[in-house]
Structure 1
Amino acid sequence: MNVFSKVTAALSLSVISFASFATSPDFPHLATTGYGEVVAKPDMAQFSVKVVDSTMTAEQAKQSVDSSVTAFLKALSDEGVESDDIASSNLYITPQYHYPKKGKPELVGYRASRSITVTVDELADLNRYLDLALNSGINQVDNIQLKVKDQATYQQQARLEAIKDANSKAESLAKGFGKEINGVWRIDYNMSGSQPILMRSMAMDARTESNSYQDSSIVIRDRVDVIYKLD
C-alpha cells in the first residue's frame, strides 16, 4: 500500500509562490511540505443503524419503529452499554404518495424512521451489537466507523514523521543546489487527521465476521509546511 502522498517542494533564491503562506520572504529560501502517517489497529468503533417501516397509517408506522428501537435499546442496556454511548434521533414520519399519469396524487401510506448511534468501547463486541440490532428489528446499517482510543498519541507520532520528512527534503534540496540550511523562517501546521475505515449502507443480512474488523487498519496522517532560510 502506498503510505505516502507525492511530495511537492520548491527552491527559490528570490520570491516563491507557495499557497500555504500569505507572504514570501525577500531573502534566499526554500519551502517544503512534510508528510507523516501512522498505521494503527482499531480498538473501538462507532456505528449508526436505522429502522424504517411503511404502513397504511402514521400511528402504525410510529408504533412499529418505536417498538424496534425500544427493543434494541433494552438489549444494549442488558449488555451493559452505558447510556452515554447511545444516541437516538427523533422519529420522522413522511406521507407516501402514488402519482398516476392523470389525476391527483394518491396517499398510499406513511413511512417512519429512527436512527441510533452506538459507541463500542471494545471492538470485539461490535459484531454482537450488530446482531442485537438485527434481532430487534433494525433493518438498515448506515455507517460503521473503526477508531482508536488513543488518537492523540498516534497523531503526535504522525506529526513527528511529518517534521522529519520536511527537514529531510529541505536538507536534500539545499545540498543538491549547493546551498545550506540556515534556520527556519516560517512554519504552517495543517493537521490532516485520520482516515477511518468506513462501511456504509450495508444490508443487515450482509453479515461480516468480527475478525475482519479487527484485521482492519486506520491511517492517521499529518503534514507541515515549512520555509527555511538559505545561506
Structure 2
Amino acid sequence: MMNNKFLNPLLIVVIVFMVSLIILVNVQIFNGVKEGSYIGKGYEFQNIISFSGEGEVYVKPDMGLVTLSVVNEDKDVSSATEENTKRVNNIILFLKNNNVEEKDIKTTDFSISPRYDYLDSGKRVLAGYQINQSVEVKIRDIGNVGTILEGAVTAGANQVGSINFVVDDSEEYEKEARALAIADAKQKAYELSEQLGVTLVEIVNFSEGGNYPIYDYDEYSEKRVVGMGMLESSVPDIQVGENTIRSSVSISYSIK
C-alpha cells in the first residue's frame, strides 16, 4: 500500500493539472464564441467617387543639351583612333574656352567598328575601321547655343544631335503644376457633387499620374554638316521657345 506522504503531493499535482485544463478549455470556448459573433457581418461598404485634374505651367528653358560626335574611318585602327581623339580634344578645348565647364561635358559613346568590302566572288575583306566618339554638352548660356554649335563643328564635330532645351531646376514649376491639377480636380468634385445631389465627406485616395516636362526640340542633324565639319551657313539661329510642365492627379472622395 502506497505511503500517504507520497500520495498527497501526487494528488495535488493532479488537481492543479485538472484546474489548468478546465481554465484553458473555457478560454478557448470564450474566444470561439467571440469570433463567432462576427460571422455573417460583411465589409462596410463606402460610396466613393473619383475626379481627375490637370495642371500646366509654361516655362522658358534656361539650358540646352546637345550631342556632338566625331565619326571617321581609316585602314589602320591606330591612325583612325588618333585622328578621332585629336578632333574630340579640339572640340572639348573649344567648349572650355567658351565658358562650358568640365562638369557639363560628358562622353556618352566611344566605339570602334571594322568595315568590310565584299568582292564579286562574295568574299569579305577588311577595308578599315570606323571610330565613333560622342560627347553630351550642357550649354547653360542658352543665348550662346548657336555660337557653340558653329564653333564645335569648326573644331572637328561632323555630327550634331537634336538639341533639347530644358529647365535646369524644374522642382518649383512641378509643384506649381501639381497645385493647379489638385485645384482642377477639387473644382470638378464640387461642381459634380452639386449636380448629383451628394455630399463630399472626405478624401480617401490620392494619386499623381504624371508630373513631367514636355521639351522643345530643334532638329539640328548631321545633314546640316558638310565636308570635314563646315556648316552650310554661319551661326545658326536657334529658337528656344517654351517648355510645358504638366501634372495629372486623381482624387477620390467618400460621399453620402
Shared fold (TM-score, shorter chain, > 0.5): yes
Instruction: Tell me if structure 2 keeps the 8 A contact 1:40–1:218.
Output: yes
| TM-score normalized by the length of structure 1 | 0.81
Counterparts of 2:162 and 2:97, CA distance in 1? 23
CA separation of 1:91/1:149 partners in 2, compared to 1, >3 Å: closer, same or farther?
closer
Conserved? CA contact 1:174–1:181, under 8 Å: yes
Question: Are residues 90 and 27 of structure 1, via their aligned partners in 2, closer, same or farther at CA, if it must alter by over 3 Å?
Answer: closer
Residue 206 of structure 1: CA displacement? Answer: 6.5
Alignment of 1:209 with 2:237, yes or no, is yes
1:229 Cα deviation after fit: 1.3
Q: 2:154 aligns with which of 135, 138, 151?
A: 135
1:47-196 to 2 correspondences below 5 Å: 47-89=66-108, 91-100=110-119, 102-196=121-215
Residue 195 of structure 1 deviates from its aligned partner by 0.9
Total equivalences in the alignment: 204
Give distance in 1, aligned partners of 2:143 and 2:122: 55
Alignment-mate amino acid for residue 98 of structure 2: E
Residues 178 and 211, structure 2, Cα contact 8 Å, conserved in 1: no
Aligned to 1:190, what secondary structure does the other structure show? strand
Name the residue aligned to 2:253. 228
Give 1:22's aligned residue.
none
Give the TM-score normalised by structure 2.
0.74
1:29-81: per-residue Cα shift (whole Å, max 9, x none)? 21112111111111111111111012222122212211110111111121232
SS of the residue aligned with 1:103? coil
Mapped to 2, the partners of 1:206 and 1:169 lie a distance apart of: 54
Bigger helix fraction:
2
Within-5 A mapping of 1:33-48: 33-48=52-67
User: 1:116 & 1:184 partners in 2: Cα distance?
Assistant: 49
**5+ long unaligned stretches in structure 2:** 1-43, 226-230
What amino acid maps onto 1:40 in structure 2?
A: V
Residue 101 of structure 1 deviates from its aligned partner by 5.8
Q: Report the 3-state secondary structure (helix = DSSP H, G, I; strand = E; otherwise coil) of the residue aligned with 2:194.
A: helix
Which secondary structure state, in structure 1, belongs to the residue aligned with residue 197 of structure 2?
coil
Q: Is the 8 A contact 2:94 2:151 kept in 1?
A: yes
Which structure is larger by alpha-carbon Rg, 1 or 2?
A: 2
C-alpha distance in structure 2 between counterparts of 1:80 and 1:160, whole Å: 37
AA aligned opposite 2:174 = Q
CA 132–29 in structure 1, closer or farther in 2 if over 3 Å, else same: same
Moved over 6 A (4+): none
